[in-house]
Structure 1
Amino acid sequence: MGKIYISQLFPEERVNKILNKYDIGLEIIEFGIGYTLDKDDNGIVEYYKRNGELIKNRPLSIHGPFLDLNTASFDNMIKQATLTRYNQAYSVAKRLGADRIVFHSCYYDDVYFKDVYINNSLEFWNEFLIDKDESINIHIENMYDKDLLVLKELVDKINSNIISICLDIGHANCYSNQSLEEIIKLLGSRIGHLHLNNNDGKKDSHRGLNSGNIEVIETLELIDKYCNNPSMTIEVSDFKEAEESISIIMKRNNK
């Protein structure tokens, strides 16, 4: 498996405890909120004051903005707001030395016909990518996507070396009509990053890897077979379950 990150889903002092204990990266979520990006220097100065030493020389991922945004919007003002927020997050990633950003797919098949979503999103991503280099990997994450074939087709049409899919196995378990095995076989090497957590298939509860109906180890074996060494973020909201989940991944990787 590729690099391992922990998501910032519990209080900062507990995140710090994990980072001081384990040699892993951090996926920062606070730059995914417009309120933070509206601060001086997009919130970086304030963040550095709190965490500058902790994040030094550590792999970093940024969870991009997602609230109220839509890459597939017909409304040009919403599209421009989305583009502005995404560019702000990219600038933050550059200045923090992050190696990846995760953005949501924004696909709601009860709202958009498949072809409309793909065409609108393709136009957005082509505009976003105009001035981007290869220093940061960009991952498009499934959220409410029922059919992951749509995301596959979008990524294929974008056809960029820096664009791949972030497969969130918890989202897939709750919202997709396909099994994780079907999804992993379908997406294959397009999966560049993973969000790992578990749930009961009804609520996206971000439980630990042993706390739900996803067979996580079997899922990772499928990833090993069909994908190309993706990085991963342990996106678990309970501190104790997050530590247990890190331990599970570490033991598996050290076999």
Structure 2
Amino acid sequence: MNTIAISDLLFPAFEKNALRNLPQNFGMEFFVEFGPVEYWRSLLPQFNIQSRPISLHGPCVTVNLANPDDTQYLSRYEKDITFGKEINAEFIVVHTNEQWSGNRKDIQNLVIERLQELDKLAQNIAGPRLAVENVGLLTNNLFNESEYIELFTKFPNIVSLIDVGHANVNQWNLPYVIQTLNKKIIAYHLHDNNEKKDEHQPIGTSSINWTELFKAINTYSPNATKVLEYANGTFKSMDQLLEHLNSIESLMTTK
């Protein structure tokens, strides 16, 4: 399956109604951190989630796996994984870290230990797969290109989600990363930037070589979900978004 999905980052909060008009052949990804389970349980049926691919973005504001003082990560992820199972989500996005300080190797080991805990939790719940995203820009990039790739030799059940915008700022060799991880990649967060800031701009509007990138994506991970994770305000209506999707259709299928 070659799914194109839309992140609700584009239409958050009171603007989310625009997603009701998203055609059924597109998937959706929701930042479930910003509301209790009861809120999402009542809201999501409006978007016909039972008849389209769904993924959830795990906590990235209230949880930091790289913070030794964070004691809430397991309970928070347990709620999200359980809810993900309830709605038949395909995967849950996991950030390795937010801001961190201290000895880099020690913090890496802490995150790896916590990922092992989350992996065990997800297996016990039999919920969605955990998709670990490359996060952290420049000096906050806890796992560099080679270290991120190595993570997936440690966890047989955890899969990769490549955020191409983050990788672009950190100057990763994306075609190499994609070729190396290949079928371990379950999804991509697609957005453009100027190589300096995490701008979450539309595909084709800034510095990324999308022809080269989609060739690698479609060659080595053809079944991965392509999630458009655009900044709020990028498009004012669903009609504008659909026009954009139509304009990049041939680019996204480059082989």
TM-score (norm 1): 0.81
Aligned match of 1:205: 199
CA apart distance, 1:155: 2.2
- 1:178-211 CA deviation, whole Å, 9 max, x = no partner? 2323433443333221011111112212111111
**More divergent stretch after superposition (190-199 vs 234-243):** 234-243
Matches within 5 A, 1:145-156: 145=141, 147-156=144-153
Structure 1: 5+ residue stretches without partners: none
Matches within 5 A, 1:100-249: 100-106=91-97, 111-114=102-105, 116-133=106-123, 136-144=128-136, 145=141, 147-160=144-157, 163-174=158-169, 176-227=170-221, 229-237=223-231, 238-239=234-235, 242-248=241-247
**More divergent stretch after superposition (163-172 vs 53-62):** 53-62
What is the CA RMSD across the aligned residues, in angstroms?
Answer: 2.7
CA apart distance, 1:118: 3.6
CA apart distance, 1:156: 1.4
SS in 1 for 2:65: coil
- How far apart are the structure 1 equivalents of 2:225 and 2:248? 12
**More divergent stretch after superposition (126-135 vs 165-174):** 126-135
Match for residue 12 of structure 1 among 16, 25, 45 = 16
Match for residue 83 of structure 2 among 85, 92, 96 = 92
- How far apart are the structure 1 equivalents of 2:145 and 2:254? 31
CA apart distance, 1:123: 1.6
CA apart distance, 1:248: 4.6
- How many aligned positions are there? 238
Matches within 5 A, 1:22-61: 23-29=25-31, 31-33=32-34, 36-37=35-36, 41-48=37-44, 51-52=45-46, 54-61=48-55
Aligned match of 1:72: 66
CA apart distance, 1:26: 0.6
Letter in 2 for 1:15: L
Structure 2: 5+ residue stretches without partners: none
Fraction of identical pairs, as percent: 27
SS in 2 for 1:233: strand
Letter in 2 for 1:171: H
- How far apart are the structure 2 equivalents of 1:45 and 1:244? 30
8 A contact 1:24–1:58 mirrored in 2: yes
- How far apart are the structure 2 equivalents of 1:135 and 1:68? 21
- How far apart are the structure 1 equivalents of 2:46 and 2:103? 42
- 1:19-71 CA deviation, whole Å, 9 max, x = no partner? 1x351111112x123xx13xxx44334324xx435323211110111104222
Taking a change above 3 Å as real, the CA distance of residues 107 and 159 of structure 1, as seen in their structure-2 partners, is farther
SS in 2 for 1:62: strand
